[in-house]
Every structure is written in structure tokens, then in C-alpha cells.
Amino acid sequence: MGIGVIKLKINEQEVISREGDTILKAAKEHGITIPTLCDLDGLSNFGGCRLCLVEVKGSPKLFPACTTPVSNGMEVITDSERLKKYRKMAIELILSERIHVCSVCVANNNCELQDLANKLGVDHVNFKRDWNTHDLDTTHEFLVIDRNRCILCTRCIRVCDEVEGVHVLDLKNRGKDTEVIIDLDDQWGVSKICTSCRKCAKVCPVGAIYVEGQPISQTRDKKIAEFVLTRRQS
Amino acid sequence: MKPIDLVKLAERDLDLRRSYKYRINVCCSSGCLPFGAEDVLKAFEQAIKEYGVEKDCKVARTGCVGTCSVGPAVVVEPGDYLYQSVTPENAREIVKEHIIKGTPIKSMLYRNESFFKKQRRLILRNAGKIDPYNIEDYIAMGGYSALMKCLTSMTPKAVIDEVMASGLRGRGGAGFLTGQKWTFVARASGNPKYIIANLDEGDPGVFANRTLAEADPHAIIEGMLIAAYAIGAEKGYIYIRAEYPLAITTLKKALDQANSLNLVGENILETSFNFSIDLRLGAGAFVAGEETAILASIEGQRATPRPRPPYPATSGLWGKPTLIQNVETLANIPIIINNGGAWFAGIGTPKCSGTKCFSLTGKINSPGLIEVPMGTTLREVVYEIGNGIPNNRKFKAVLVGGPSGGCLPEEQIDLPIDYESLTKVGAIMGSGGIVVIDDQSCMVDTAKFFTDFCVDESCGKCVPCRVGLTKIKEIFERIMRGEGRMEDMNLLEELGNYIREASLCGLGQTAPNPVLTTLRYFKNEYVEHISQKKCSAGKCFQKNEEG
């Protein structure tokens, strides 16, 4: 076996991967899908949505596939009953946290949250829904942030900081009061730093940041961060 | 200063200490100050002047002796006579009777003798005995001799071996083997290496770390220095919450004095060893005590945890190898070096050596700060040290481990306190908080209280903790409105298990403990609340009746 080659099993299937790769990457390369929401190729790891949790034989703990490195002899299970139940629960919790009404959402039919809900069989929400409204900011020339739809995955913040390099977006408050903010909690329209590059809209998994008047199917570009990163390195 | 100068200084100060026939230690820590300890201190100073016994008797400002409910506490040496609730008028009386006539005033002494009997004070060895504002007091008690021993006669590896042999485990809550952690950081490549002393104690009802810093700041500093020597670190931070003003002042003074004696800084004790220490103040977030959140906070970012690996041992502050230890862990280090790892391993239980500080509060006759060997039972803590429950009320539960600890019922009261036993029954060692609950408290209400705390303190990064805990809170609110459903108990349990297993950091992973343990041990109270809308303890549904 060559240096840096890691042999492991994912769902009983023998998998060969590289040292330093994550379980998620190893799985993806072998056509095994692990659901994710905050993860995006080309951006730093966040580990916040907890959808990609997997089991590793020999440990009672759950491991986030997006940040756990592969190791030799590791036996990963990605679809146990417990994991399926927990993923459904995560989606239900996200759906109950803010106002997610698909019929009036720009991202309807182009939404990663909606897709996952369908895929994981979430047909109802068992928790009390929170109908408190969050701020909407339409002051920018064409970018809109509707915080009612935000799932706090921070992809927009990371792409703005790590790829575009301007760090216009960040978070304020903590816990359930956490919000994505522009500059030091200003209106988007007055931001002098924002380059209006639209990368935030391109990576948003839901309809929280979008380009006004443009169909979301044309706005979305999940590969943008990875594309820029690869270009920079070459 | 050379090592020999330190020895001379210690001898001189010890002689000075012995030259007094009596020593009056007045506790001036955060527990006793609100009762007027400063005035008592002044009254004693004035009284010994008036009676002309300044040469025989020393009055000293000290840290906490542990009996926080009967402050201001005053200890007269020799004999360790502990006077409780001393007033400035009492001070004159004590000087007159005890110091001049030599007869202690029995009626004013602390009455619960068993409070100290079962305790063993190693970490708090100097608490209440030395003046925390005076480094020479610490040196007189053998302070910095362990550092000298390390620098002059031990290799870094030998220091780590000694700590390894002691079996000391991290006192921050998780109980990781300290020697092993040091080995990881020592082996990690990357320069410089950092040390963080964690003093971000935020649990409601917990004050052990604060007391330690207020009473014996140099024990923490010396522990840091020895750790730095062992792992090859150059820079250390003491991360302390801004809500601890007295501890901050004490540590600042201690650092200044240690700097001026060349015990911190460059070429320490005229060796090639350099180590500087800075204070960093928290900005009010409970989660900042989590080890990866502390890194973010010191770097000037939002105090949110990040996934591990990479572990701080290999990639901590600014991506460099970093050792993070609770201050209580660090305060153990000098005694381990001085007495040997094998000696330390003999205290406590085989798997859990040493002693542990606990903040004993709630419905208890003698609350305060205690230190007991690992393996002491909860019964000994509650009934012997704590002297039982006031007004002969009935014991109901004891919450061990702070807001994310577990509520244990009477059946578990003979449980020995160690990491494994506590985890087995659904509690945690955590920050070392022990809250005694009597039959006037409602367990549903208690679980709700601690859930509310965790909801407020969740950083919001991961879904289970941010949203899951909020949903638990909403279910409790529903039950308290009399709208609970029997399914809610199942839902609470499912949510609790999910949050425990799926959360990113220790806060989320332990936050459902109060809910899960009360469901496990006090299910009848939930049933009563939901099906009969009744609270036997008379705590809940009050507003409904009034309205």
C-alpha cells in the first residue's frame, strides 16, 4: 500500500481514500451520498447542520462526515435507523425554527432544504413552529436577504470572506437570536465594502439571499467556491 | 533572582511568619466582602494597635476558607479557630479575649465541625492561610519551590512522566489524562506553543475557580510555568470571565509581583527558560469556556466552538500547538512535583486520583466551597460536610455538574464521586457544582430552569443545540401552561437524546442532562404536571390560580 493511501469501509463497501481526506469526501468519490446543508466544496468546514453525522464501528459517538478524517480500517455506517431518525429530526427542527413556506419562496423547487425534506421523508413537523418575523433587507440594488428563510449555515459568510475576500457578511447575537448581518449590522444598500459579486446568492442553499428578478435556478452556482479555489491554485 | 535567592526569601518569610505568636486571617474574597469583610479587617488592624499587640499578632487579608454562608469568616492561628459572621465590634472582642487573654470565644466559633473533617485540602492548601496580594506569603508556604525543582533538577520529560504517574485528570469536566495531553502538545510540531489557563467559570451556583484565583493566584501561575517548561511553551494566557473583578485584580497583582521577582518573563530564575503570561477577559459568553471557543475568543473572534479534529494540542491558538487546562488542574501541578506522582496517585480512587473542589449550594445547612478526595460519596458531602437539609425537610435530589449536570435521586446518594460513576447515572463532573434540592422544589421546574439557561447560552452554531433546546423550552412552557400532552415526555426524551448525541460541543452534548435525568428519576412529577395539571411541590401553576 502506498504512502497516504487509506483503506476503509463505508456501509460494508471497501473504499480507498487519501490520508487527510474526510469521510464525506471519501464517500462522495465512491458514489455514496451523505446528506449535508452547511458543507460546500471550496469553503472551510463549519460542522453546524449535523446532517452528515455518521456512525463509526467501535464508538458510541456520532461523527460529522464533513470534518472527520478517514483512517485505516475505519468502518463507517452512513444510513442506520438512528441516523435516519436524527436527520429527519434535524430537518424538522430547521423547518420549525423560522418561517419556511415553500409556496411563497423564491427557492421553491430549487431548495436544498426542501429536497432533503422530500428525500428523507419529512412529511410533517412535530414541533411548535415559530412565526416571529425576522428582518428583510431589500435596500441593495439587486441582492435581497430574507432572514426568515435563513438556516444559519454560514455558506454566504464563508464565501464572502474566503473566496471574495471582503467579509461583508457575519453573524450577530447568539443561540436562537443569531442573525446574518451586513457590515456592522447596516443596511445592504449603504455598504461600501460589498462588491455585489453575488457569490452569497450563488451558494445559499435556501431562498434567504437571492438576486431580485432572476429565477433562482439561474442564480445558483454551487461549484463557484471550488471553481475559484482551483483557479487560484493552478 | 537565582534559585538560591528564592530559598533565602522563603526562609526569611517563614521566619517572619513564625515570629508572630498569633495570626488573624480575615477572609476578603467575593463571598465575605458583601458581609463587610473589609471593615472587619480594618477593625482588627486597629484593635491590635490599640491593645499594643502588633508585634505578637499579624492581621492578614486572605482568601476563602470555604464557609461562605457565615461570612465574614476569620481564622485565628495557631489552632485554626474559625470565627463566623464576624462584625467590627466582634473584632475588638476577639483581640481582647483570644489574643490577649488566650481564651477563644466559643460562642462565636463555626459550629459544624464535620465541615472540615471529611475534606482534604490540597488544591485549596493555601486558601484562607496566605495573603493573595503578597507573593512572599506564597513563597513562605513553599511556593515556587516546585518550579525551582523542575528548572534545576528535572528534564521536561521527567516532569511529564511525574504528571503521568500521578494519574491527574483534567478538572474542567471531561477528565482527560493531563500527562497524556502534555505529551501530545510536547510532541506536536510548530512554534511557538501556547498555554491557556481556563478560568471561564460560568455555571450558576459554581464558584470554585473564582475562589481559587482569589485565594491562591500563584498556585495557578506556578502550575502554568511548570506546564510551560514541560511542553516547551513560551506564552500563556489566563482566560478569565470579566464578571470576576476581584479575581482579575488578584491575578493582575500576582502576575506583576511574579514578573518583578523574575518568576515570570525571560530567563526565569536565571535559567534559559522564558515564559510570559497575559490575562484575557471574556465578553460574557458561557460557551467561551469550551476549549475551541476559548481559542476563537482569544484570537478576537466570536466565541463559537469548532469541530475537532484538529485538536488544540496540534492546532490551537493561531494554528499553533496549545495546551488548555482548567486552573484547578494547574493548581495540582506544584504539589505533584513536590510530593511525587506516586504519592498523588494514592489519593482518591485508582482511576480517579487526587481531590476535587465542589461548590456546595442549594438547600443545605453548611453550603460553601469544599474539597474532597475523589470517591467520596454524595451522602458524605450532603449529610456530613453539608450537615444535612435545613428545617428537617426531606432530601429530594442533588444536581451534580452545573446546569448541564444530572439530577440524582435519593437512591443514588451513596454514589462515589468520580468521572465514570457520575457519567453512568446520567450526571457529569462538569464544573463541580453540587446543588441540593429538597421536597419544596419541583423537578420539572428545575429542569426547565437549567434548560432556559442553556437556551440563552447556546452559541447558535449547530442545529441540535440551537433549535433543539429551544423546542425543549417550548415544550416545558406548554406543560407549565397546563397544555402538556402525555406524548410530550417521549418527545422530550427523543429531543434530549438527539441533542446529546448530535451537538457539536460539550455545551450541547450535556445540556439535556437535567431533562433526561429528571425524566428518568422523577417521571411521576411530569405525569402529575401533564395529566392533573398539579405540582405537589407547589411551585408551578401558581399564576393560573391567582389569575
The ipTM is: 0.96
DSSP string across A124-184: S--SPPP-----EE--SSSEEEEGGG-----HHHHIIIIII----EEEES-GGG-EEEETT
Phi/psi region, residue A175 (left: phi>0; alpha: psi -120 to 50; beta: rest), is: left
Q: In Å, how far is A213's CA from the nearest CA of chain B?
A: 31
- How much of chain B, in percent, has pLDDT values that exceed 90? 93
Q: Can you read off the three cell numbers belonging to residue B155?
A: 528534564
- The shortest CB-CB distance from A89 to any of B455, B466, B498 is to B498
Tens of pLDDT, residue by residue over B420-454, are 999 999 899 988 999 999 999 999 999 999 999 99
Per residue in B131-158, pLDDT (tens digit) is 999 999 999 999 999 999 999 999 999 9
Beta strand spans in B421-526 (E): 433-438
Neighbours of B158 (CB within 10 A): 13
User: What is the rounded average pLDDT for all residues in chain A?
Assistant: 95
Same-domain pairing of A19 and A44: yes
In A4-63, the residues whose Cβ lies within 8 Å of chain B are: 45-50, 53, 61-62
Q: What is the pLDDT of residue B123?
A: 97
* pLDDT band per the 50, 70, 90 thresholds, residue B172: confident
| CATH number for the domain that contains residue A167 | 3.30.70.20
With contacts defined as CB-CB under 8 Å, which chain B residues touch A176?
455, 458, 460, 466-467, 470
Q: How many residue pairs bridge chain A and chain B with CB atoms within 8 Å of each other?
A: 88
Residues A150 and A209 in one domain: yes
Domain that holds residue A211: 85-233
In which band, very low, low, confident or very high, does the pLDDT at A2 lie, cut at 50, 70 and 90? Answer: low
A97 at B interface, C-beta within 8 A = yes
User: What is the residue-averaged pLDDT of chain B?
Assistant: 95
Q: How many domains does chain A have?
A: 2
- A126 and A214 within one domain: yes
How many Å from the N-terminal Cα to the C-terminal Cα in chain B? 72
pLDDT at position B231 is 98
- Tell me: do A31 and A94 sit in the same domain: no
Cβ <8 Å between B471 and A93 = yes
Residues of A in contact with B498 (CB under 8 A): 86, 89
Nearest-CA distance from B462 to chain A in Å? 4
Residue A61 to residue B501, Cβ atoms within 8 A: yes
Strands of the B395-400 sheet, one edge to the other? B368-373, B355-362, B433-438, B395-400, B406-409
**CB proximity A226 to B under 8 Å:** no
- Give the domain-ending residue among A79, A102, A133: A79
What domains does chain B contain, in order, with CATH numbers?
16-117 (3.40.30.10), 142-345 (3.40.50.11540), 355-438 (3.10.20.600), 443-546 (1.20.1440.230)
Q: Which positions in chain B have a beta carbon within 8 angstroms of at least one beta carbon in chain A?
A: 285, 287, 302, 306-307, 309, 455-464, 466-468, 470-471, 474-475, 478, 491, 494-495, 498, 501-504
Nearest Cα neighbor of A201 from A146, A162, A148, A135 is: A146
* Chain B positions in Cβ-Cβ contact with residue A50 (cut-off 8 Å): 462-464, 502-504
Is residue A105 domain-shared with residue A154, that is, in the same domain?
A: yes
Instruction: Closest CB to A176: pick one of B460, B462, B494.
Output: B460
A126 and A17 in a common domain: no
Q: Which residues of B touch A177 (CB under 8 A)?
A: 460
Task: Write down which residue in A47, A79, A111 finishes a domain.
Answer: A79
Return the C-alpha cell found at B404: 448541564
Amino acid present at A116: L
Instruction: Name the packing angle between helices B208-215 and B245-260 (round to 10°).
Output: 40
Residues in B closer than 8 angstroms to A53, CB to CB, are 502
pTM score of the predicted model: 0.94
CB contact under 8 A, B464 and A90: yes
- Report long-range pairs for A194-199 (Cβ below 8 Å, ≥24 apart): A194/A140, A194/A143, A194/A166, A194/A168, A195/A164, A195/A166, A196/A140, A196/A141, A196/A142, A196/A143, A197/A164, A198/A143, A199/A156, A199/A159, A199/A160, A199/A163, A199/A164, A199/A224, A199/A225
Query: Which pLDDT band, with edges at 50, 70 and 90, does A234 fall under?
Result: confident
Same domain, A108 and A220: yes
Of A79, A112, A136, the domain-final residue: A79
Tens digits of residue pLDDT in B468-527: 999 999 999 999 999 999 999 999 999 999 999 999 999 999 999 999 999 999 999 999
Give the closest-approach CA distance of B494 to chain A in angstroms.
9
Number of neighbouring beta carbons within 10 Å of residue B91? 26
pLDDT at site B547: 40
Is B464–A126 a contact, with Cβ atoms under 8 angstroms apart? Answer: no
Instruction: Mark yes or no for CB contact B463/A69 under 8 Å.
Output: no
What are the chain B neighbours of A173 within 8 Å (beta carbons)?
Answer: 460
Of B457, B460, B464, the CB nearest to A50: B464
Confidence of residue B402 (pLDDT cuts 50, 70, 90): confident
Q: Tell me the pLDDT tens digit for each residue of A46-67.
A: 999 999 999 999 999 999 999 9
**Do A170 and A90 fall into the same domain?**
yes
Interface probe for B, chosen from A43, A49, A50 (most Cβ of B below 10 Å), is A50
Helices B217-231 and B178-187: angle between axes, nearest 10 degrees = 50
**What is d(CA B98, CA B94) in angstroms, rounded to the nearest whole number?**
5
Residue B174, pLDDT > 50, answer: yes
Q: Is the model's pLDDT at B544 over the cut of 60?
A: no
CATH number of the domain that residue A42 is part of: 3.10.20.740
Q: What is the mean pLDDT of residues A3-25?
A: 94
Q: Which of A128, A130, A178 has its CB closest to that of B460?
A: A178
Rounded to 5 degrees, φ, ψ at B422 are: -65, -45
Based on the domain organization, do A61 and A102 belong to the same domain?
no
Domain match, A162 and A123 both: yes
> Which one of B302, B471, B480 makes the best mutation probe of the A interface by having the most chain A beta carbons within 10 Å?
B471
Helix (H, G, I), strand (E, B) or coil at A15: strand
Interface mutation target, options B311, B315, B461, chain A, most CBs of A under 10 Å = B461
Minimal Cα–Cα distance from B227 to chain A, Å? 29
Q: What is the pLDDT of residues B44-87, one digit of tens each?
A: 999 999 999 999 999 999 999 999 889 899 999 999 999 999 99
A86 vs B contacts (CB less than 8 Å): 498, 501-502
Percent of chain A whose pLDDT exceeds 70? 99
**How close B303 gets to chain A, by Cα (Å)?**
10
- CB contact under 8 Å between A176 and B491, yes or no, is no
Q: Is there a single domain that holds both residue A9 and residue A66?
A: yes
